[in-house]
Amino acid sequence: MADRKPFIGGNWKMNLHADEAAALARALVDGLTDAPAEVAICPAFPYLHQVGEILSQAQSKIQLGAQDVHTDPNGAFTGEVSCSMLRDVGATVVIVGHSERRHVLAESDVLINAKVRAALDAGLDVIFCIGETLQQREAGMTDAVNWGQIGYGLAGVSSDHMARVTIAYEPVWAIGTGMTATPDDAQAAHQAIRAFIRCGMFNDAVADRVRIQYGGSVKPDNAAQLFAQPDIDGGLIGGAALKADDFLAIIAATQTVAASAG
């Protein structure tokens, strides 16, 4: 994982009601005594404030994240939430371009790019998601799809702003299916993503610094092998982020890797 500090995100998706969200946040605060990785948790919008209060009262290092954001600062956008509203409730990071938004809610690369830039301009960190479908993988298009999504999604983002971007490579076929990419396949995709950041879009400094998370059925029993790959800098976790013990074990797996490497 080079010198990059691993980053573990918990994407709670449309799960957990108020009492469950609060209980999970408290269990994570209590369970995360040292910090082998940076950690963010991303509850659904209605519970951001409540979870944020739990984190800040405990002076936890766990960051509060949102799962999406709108491009405009305010106005007639029924149902949407702005960057400044997220900041108001204590969020410091936002997930943009998740495959469920791309494929289920039909978000385009153009819209995702506008969200990335709006969030960065507003001072939010961004977890920018990319990844191929099974059909695209079987057609040998994994790298082309990832490069295309990066090319569109990060267009116009400065090298300085890239310091606040984490890329989450989440092969669509691995999300919520129990089918994880093998560590070798995941590493190959991550290496190609970093090469594109290096040679296609930015430069050595950005490529060496940018963190690339793996997402898709990461569990306590496969996390360490994935995180041991040189271009995998942590993970974006769905199902296993809903159980404190599993999520804490995944965070701890980054430490196992650091210890065995050094």
Catalytic residue, candidates 38, 100, 107, 170: 170
Catalytic site includes residue 17: no
- Taking the complex as a whole, the smallest distance from the CB of residue 63 to ligand 13P amounts, in Å, to 15
Q: Which residue has the tokens 């009492």?
A: 19
Catalytic residue, candidates 70, 98, 161, 190: 98
- Taking the complex as a whole, the smallest distance from the CB of residue 166 to ligand 13P amounts, in Å, to 12
- Judged by CB, which is closer to ligand 13P: 107, or 170? 170
- Judged by CB, which is closer to ligand 13P: 112, or 240? 240
Residue 191 · residue 207 · CB < 8 Å: no
Nearest residue relative to ligand 13P (C-beta): 238
- Taking the complex as a whole, the smallest distance from the CB of residue 154 to ligand 13P amounts, in Å, to 18
Chain residues that interact with ligand 13P, rule: CB under 6 A: 11, 98, 170, 175-176, 215-218, 236-240
Could you give the CA distance from residue 204 to residue 35 in angstroms, rounded to a whole number?
A: 28
Instruction: Write out the H or E segment, with its range, that includes residue 76.
Output: none
Q: In terms of Cα–Cα distance, which of 58, 89, 88, 84 is closest to 73?
A: 84
* b/e sequence 33-44, b meaning 16+ C-beta within 10 Å: eeebbbbbbbbb
Could you give the CA distance from residue 245 to residue 98 in angstroms, rounded to a whole number?
A: 25
Phi and psi of 79, rounded to 5°? Answer: 90, -5
- Judged by CB, which is closer to ligand 13P: 75, or 178? 178
Alpha helices per DSSP H over 18-141: 18-31, 48-57, 83-88, 99, 109-121, 134-138
Look up residue 216 and give its DSSP letter: S
- Taking the complex as a whole, the smallest distance from the CB of residue 234 to ligand 13P amounts, in Å, to 12
Catalytic site includes residue 49: no
- Judged by CB, which is closer to ligand 13P: 29, or 41? 41
- Taking the complex as a whole, the smallest distance from the CB of residue 167 to ligand 13P amounts, in Å, to 13
Angle between helices 244-261 and 220-227 (to 10 degrees): 30
- 224 contacts: CB under 8 Å, gap ≥ 6: 253, 256, 257
- Judged by CB, which is closer to ligand 13P: 11, or 146? 11
- Taking the complex as a whole, the smallest distance from the CB of residue 104 to ligand 13P amounts, in Å, to 12
Q: How many CB atoms lie within 10 A of CB 30?
A: 12
Residues serving a catalytic function are: 98, 170
